[in-house]
Amino acid sequence: MSVRLPSVPVADRAYPTLSPFKCGMRACCPRCGQGKLFDGFLKLAPRCEVCGLDYSFADPADGPAFFVICFVCVPAVIFGLWLEVAFQVPYWVHLVTTLPVLLVTCIPPLRPLKGWLVASQYYHRAEEGRLVTAADVPDAASAARE
């Protein structure tokens, strides 16, 4: 005999706070931790198929590519340059050493980095910046009197 629990609407559910890093590395939904974040290699899904979170808030832009270029591609290119300067190898050696090093070190990190950036945007409730004018800020002196 199984006990059936009443269904709770999605908006009323309490979701645990999940680590953006873990969600990004697993490419799962930053709200429920169960749904898929991607609908391909780097294309974000429109929404989570489990909890229904709309991913339209996410805009990692060129962040993943920037991090990969700065921290992974530069050392891989330096490896190729070192190989050329130190040993003056023929081009076919670069084809079988430098090219695979570049491909293996530059493409796989893109997906987890993009997932981490999207999950961080959800976790920190990042949104588009807005300018605040003097008319938007209440007068501190009048607020203290009230």
* pLDDT (tens digit per residue) in 96-137: 999 999 999 999 999 999 999 999 999 999 988 888 887 777
pLDDT at 140: 55
Q: What is the DSSP string of 30-70?
A: TTTS-SBSBSSSSPBPSB-TTT--BGGG---TTHHHHHHII
pLDDT at 64: 95
Strand partners, 38: 44
Count up the domains in the chain and report the number.
1
Average pLDDT over residues 13-29: 93
Helix (H, G, I), strand (E, B) or coil at 28: strand
* pLDDT (tens digit per residue) in 30-56: 999 999 999 999 999 999 999 999 999
The residues near 68 (Cβ < 8 Å, ≥ 6 apart) are 106, 109, 110, 113
Please give the Cα distance from 65 to 74 (Å, whole number).
12
* pLDDT (tens digit per residue) in 63-86: 999 999 999 999 999 999 999 999
pLDDT at 66: 95
Residue 136 within a domain: no
Using 50, 70 and 90 to split pLDDT, how confident is the model at 138?
Answer: confident
Residue 131 within a domain: no
Residue 133 within a domain: no
End-to-end CA distance of the chain: 61
Q: Would you mind telling me the total number of residues written for the chain in this entry?
A: 146
Residue in the structure block whose two tokens are 């391909």 = 40
Least confident of 8-12, 78-82, 87-91, 104-108: 8-12
Phi, psi of 128 (to 5 degrees): -60, 140
Domain that holds residue 30: 15-125
pLDDT at 18: 95
Helix (H, G, I), strand (E, B) or coil at 4: coil
- Sign of the CA dihedral 85, 87, 90, 94? negative
Residue 69 within a domain: yes
Residue 107 within a domain: yes
Helix (H, G, I), strand (E, B) or coil at 79: helix
